[in-house]
Amino acid sequence: MSILEQIDHDFKEAMKEKREFSLSVLRMVRTAIKNKQIEVQHELTDEEAQAVLKTMLKQYQDALTDFTAASRQDLVEKQQKEIDVIAEYLPPALPLAELEKIVKEALVASGATDVGRAIGVAMKAVAGRADGADVRRIVEQVLKVS
């Protein structure tokens, strides 16, 4: 089952079970995906749908940081629940040890020495299974050691 099919299925189940919170979040997800489909003028692949979800997740995490800084615990809890719902549709992130191994192998294979090119190579190697900030940190560590 594709991500889009899973989202539609879960949306219908949330509607039947009257789970208002999940229904609300899934409406936002479906709207974001539909907007992207209109933009690119074709049905989204799983990879494109994941990219939309990752963008939403990043925006929600930024909002969570802002709410935490503003000491708005009520909004922090709501935002965290929304993040949890969206994260269900994304593959789990790579463990840190495996991420470091993949990044190091990619850098050795490419011979990249400048940070910008090295991050590009590393991001291709992890294929969206890791946060860009983590990849950047590992690349910078590896290049400083070399």
- Angle formed by the axes of helices 132-145 and 96-110, nearest 10°: 60
Give the largest CA-CA distance in the chain: 57
Judge if 118 and 49 occupy the same domain: no
Judge if 52 and 111 occupy the same domain: no
Given 37, 56, 87, which residue is the final one in a domain? 87
Judge if 139 and 108 occupy the same domain: yes
**Domain residue limits at 45:** 3-87
What are 87-141's pLDDT values in tens digits? Answer: 999 888 778 888 888 888 888 888 777 778 888 888 888 877 777 788 888 888 8
Q: Which two three-digit tokens encode residue 106?
A: 């990619």
**Mean residue pLDDT across the chain:** 88
Judge if 23 and 72 occupy the same domain: yes
Given 66, 87, 108, which residue is the final one in a domain? 87
Judge if 65 and 104 occupy the same domain: no
Q: Which two three-digit tokens encode residue 42?
A: 């074709």
State the pTM of this model: 0.73
Overall domain count for the chain: 2
**Residue at 104: amino acid letter:** K
What are 45-91's pLDDT values in tens digits? Answer: 988 999 899 899 989 999 999 999 999 999 999 999 999 999 999 88
Q: Which two three-digit tokens encode residue 144?
A: 């400083």
Q: Where are the alpha helices (DSSP H) in the chain?
A: 3-16, 20-40, 46-69, 73-87, 96-110, 115-126, 132-145
Which residue in 87, 83, 92 sits closest to 64, CA to CA? Answer: 83
CATH number assigned to the domain comprising residue 42: 1.10.1510.10
Judge if 68 and 103 occupy the same domain: no
Given 42, 64, 87, which residue is the final one in a domain? 87
